[in-house]
Chains A and B, each alone.
Chain A
C-alpha cells in the first residue's frame, strides 16, 4: 500500500525556518517525481515545488522561489522541504504528492497529476 506521511509542521514566527519531511513507503520511491502542494486555511490548492526522481530537475512556484528548497534522499525514501524566511501567507497545510505519470519533453521533465497524497502537515506562521 502506498503511503506518504508528512511531518515537521508547527508554529513558527515570521522570518523563521522550518523543515518538512515526507516519508514514503509501499512503492519504489526512487522511480517517481514528487511534489509539495499547500492549502491555506479555507482556501484552494497551490502547487509549491517539484523534484524529479533523480533530483536533476527542480521547480518552484514564484511565491516561494529563493526561500524554499526541495530535496530528497532516495536511500531513505524521504522527501524534504526546507522553508526559510517564512511569512504569514505561508500558513497552510502542506501535502507531499506523488507524480502519477512521468512527462518529459525536450530534455526537461515536468510535474503532472498526483495520484497519491499524504495527510498533510500544518504550518502556522505567526508572532
Chain B
C-alpha cells in the first residue's frame, strides 16, 4: 500500500499566518492527491483535488502544489474558521486508497 506521511502532525499558528502542510507519498502518484479539512464531530470536506485544483466554493487562500511524491497544502492567511485537522489522500489506481495521518492546526 502507498503510505502518505504528513508533517507536521500538529502546529500552532495565529490568525493571518501563512501555514504550510506537507504530504509525502512512499511512491510516485503523479497528481492523484486530494486534501480535506475536518472539524471536530463533522465529516471531512474536500478542499483540493488533483494536487492543485481548488474545489468549488473553497476560499482562494487555500492552495495545493506538487506531483510525484511530494505535495504541499498552503493556507495563505489563516482565518479563525481554518482551525481544524487536514488530511491528504492518494487516489492513484494503486489500491488501497490511503490517507495521511492528519495535521491538526491549533490556535497559538
Residues of A within 8 A of B (CB): 35, 44-47, 50, 59, 61-62, 95, 100-101, 103, 105, 108, 110-115, 117-120
- List residues 41-63 of chain B with CB under 8 A from any CB of chain A: 42-46, 49, 55
B95 touches A113 (CB 8 A): no
Interface flag for B71 (CB, 8 Å): no
A112 pairs with B91, CB closer than 8 A: yes
B44 near A115 with CB under 8 A, answer: no
| Cβ A113 vs Cβ B43 within 8 A | no
* Bound CA–CA A115/B95 (angstroms): 19
11 new A-B contacts at CB < 8 Å, known A103-B91, A111-B91:
A44-B99, A45-B87, A45-B89, A45-B99, A47-B97, A59-B95, A95-B43, A95-B44, A105-B93, A113-B34, A117-B44
Q: With A62-B96, A103-B91, A120-B43 in contact, is A115–B101 under 8 Å at CB?
A: no
Query: Would you call the interface of chain A mostly helix, strand, loop, or mixed?
Result: strand
Q: Which of B38, B89, B98, B102 contacts A113 (CB 8 A)?
A: B89
Question: Is the CB–CB distance between B43 and A110 below 8 Å?
Answer: no
Whether B98 lies near A47 (C-beta < 8 A) is yes
B29 to chain A, nearest CB (A): 12
Q: How far is the CB of B87 from chain A (nearest CB, A)?
A: 6
In the bound complex, do residue B44 and residue A100 qualify as a contact, i.e. CB atoms below 8 Å apart?
Answer: no
